[in-house]
Amino acid sequence: MTSSIEFVEKLRKSGLRPTKQRIEICKVLFNSEKTFHFTINDLVKMIEDKNNKKISLATVYNTIHAFEKKGYLKEIAINSSQTYFDTNTSDHHHFFDEKEKELIDLENKDVDPIKIKKNISGKKIRSVEVLVRIDTDNQ
Amino acid sequence: MTSSIEFVEKLRKSGLRPTKQRIEICKVLFNSEKTFHFTINDLVKMIEDKNNKKISLATVYNTIHAFEKKGYLKEIAINSSQTYFDTNTSDHHHFFDEKEKELIDLENKDVDPIKIKKNISGKKIRSVEVLVRIDTDNQ
DNA sequence: CTATAGTTTAGAATGATTATAAGCTATTTT
DNA sequence: AAAATAGCTTATAATCATTCTAAACTATAG
Ligand SMILES: [Mn+2]
Ligand SMILES: [Mn+2]
Ligand SMILES: [Zn+2]
Ligand SMILES: [Zn+2]
C-alpha cells in the first residue's frame, strides 16, 4: 500500500505535476498487491466507480502515455480493437485468452530463454515478446 | 507462377466464387516467388497500380478476411494502427522494425523451440508467436 | 434462360485514439 | 503572498482503420 504522498513524490521526480487526477490513476494502478492488465476503458471505469466522479478520457490517455514513456507501464501487442497495458513492467510474456479477451502473465521462468539466431544488420533488438493465444478446450 | 485457372480452381474448392476481384487479389498475393507482409492499404495500392482501376476497399477487406479464414493468410499481432497480414502461413515468427514499420520473417529454425512450462486449465494453445522489436542501432 | 445465392460497391457508421483550444492549477518568480 | 508562467484537464471535434448497409451486379445451379 503506497500512500498518496509517495505518489506525489514519484510524480515530481518524474517531472510530472502531481495533480489529483494523476494521483488517482496511480492509486488505481500501483496500489494493488498484484500487477494487472487493463485497457483505457477498464481504467476509466475503475476510477469513476471508485470516486463516483467523471474523469476526462483525454486525461487518462495522456497520463497513461506519460507513464508508459517513464517506464511505469508497458503496452502489450495484441491484434485487438483496444490497446492493452500492463502494470507489470518486468520482462515477461503473455497468454491471451481469445474468448475472455484477457491477458495472463507468462513469467520469464515459465518459458525457456529465447535465443534469436538471426540478426538484422544495423538494427538493435528492443524487445522479445511471446504471445500465446489460448481458447476453450472444446472439440 | 500460378495461372488464373489455378486460382479459379482454388477459389471454387474453397467455396468462394471466382470473381475477377478475387482472382486479381490472388495474383498479387500468391504469384510472387517470395512470401511477404502487407497491410490492407498496401494491397489496395498494389492492385490499383497493377490494373489502373479502382477496387472497393470493402471487397479487399472481405476477401482478405475470407482468405484468412480459409488459412491462406495469417494475421500478425503488432500494436500498430494498421493490421498486418502475411502470405507465409507456415509456423514462424517476426521481427518488427519500429522505424520502417516493416515485418521481417524469423523462421522457426532461427529460434530455439519455445517450451511453455505453464498451462491454463480448460484452455488450449492456439498459437505461440514471438515478436522481436528492432530499431536503428544508434547510440 | 431464369432464379437464386453470393459478391461488389459507394458511402455511412463505428469506435478507439488523438488533436484542439479554452479554462484551471501547480509551481516559480517577484 | 500575489502575479506570472508553464503545465494540466476538459469537453468536444477530428481522424482513421475497419465494419456495416443495402442496392446493383454476377456466377452458377436448375
Ligand atoms: Mn502508447
Ligand atoms: Mn481478421
Ligand atoms: Zn503482463
Ligand atoms: Zn511472416
Mean pLDDT of chain B: 95
Is the pLDDT reported for residue A3 higher than 90? no
Measure A85 CA to nearest chain B CA, in Å: 11
Q: Which domains does chain B have, with CATH numbers?
A: 4-85 (1.10.10.10), 90-134 (no CATH)
pLDDT score, position A2 = 79
Q: What is the pLDDT of residues A82-139, one digit of tens each?
A: 999 999 999 999 999 999 999 999 999 999 999 999 999 999 999 999 999 999 987 5
Query: Which residue of chain B has the CA closest to A116?
Result: B111
pLDDT score, position A114 = 94
Distance set, CA A55 to CA A41, A48, A50 (Å): 11, 7, 11
pLDDT score, position B2 = 79
Q: Identify which of B47, B44, B42, B48 has the alpha carbon closest to the alpha carbon of residue B82.
A: B42
Measure A124 CA to nearest chain B CA, in Å: 5
What's the whole-number mean pLDDT along residues B81-95? 96
Percent of chain B with pLDDT over 90: 94
Q: What is the pLDDT of residues B93-110, one digit of tens each?
A: 999 999 999 999 999 999
- The Å distance, CA of B49 to C1' of D13, is 35
Measure A58 CA to nearest chain B CA, in Å: 18
Give residue A78's pLDDT band: very low, low, confident or very high (50, 70, 90): very high
In the 13-42 segment of chain B, residues within 7 Å (Cβ) of strand D are 17-20, 39-41
What's the whole-number mean pLDDT along residues A27-45? 96
pLDDT score, position B3 = 83
Count CB atoms within 10 A of the CB of residue B101.
13
What's the whole-number mean pLDDT along residues B3-15? 95
Instruction: Say which of B110, B126, B137 has its CB closest to residue A117.
Output: B110
Q: Which residue is nearest to nucleotide D12 (CA to C1')?
A: A58
- Residue A102: strand, helix, or coil: strand
Please tell me the distance between residue A51's alpha carbon and the centre of ligand 2 in angstroms.
38
Please tell me the distance between residue A73's alpha carbon and the centre of ligand 3 in angstroms.
10
pLDDT score, position B138 = 78
The pTM of the full predicted model, rounded to 2 decimals, is 0.93
CB A108 within 8 A of CB B117: no
CB A23 within 8 A of CB A8: yes
Query: Which residue of chain B has the CA closest to A100?
Result: B123
Give residue B139's pLDDT band: very low, low, confident or very high (50, 70, 90): low
Interface test with A, best of B86, B109, B115, B134 (most A CBs within 10 A): B134
Burial of A66 (0-12, 13-18, 19+ CB in 10 A): middle
Length of chain A, please?
139
- List CB contacts of B43: < 8 A, sequence separation 6 or more: B25, B28, B29, B60, B64, B85
Is the pLDDT reported for residue A1 higher than 80? no
Ligand nearest to the CA of B130: 4
Q: What is the pLDDT of residues A98-110, one digit of tens each?
A: 999 999 999 999 9
Is the pLDDT reported for residue B60 higher than 90? yes
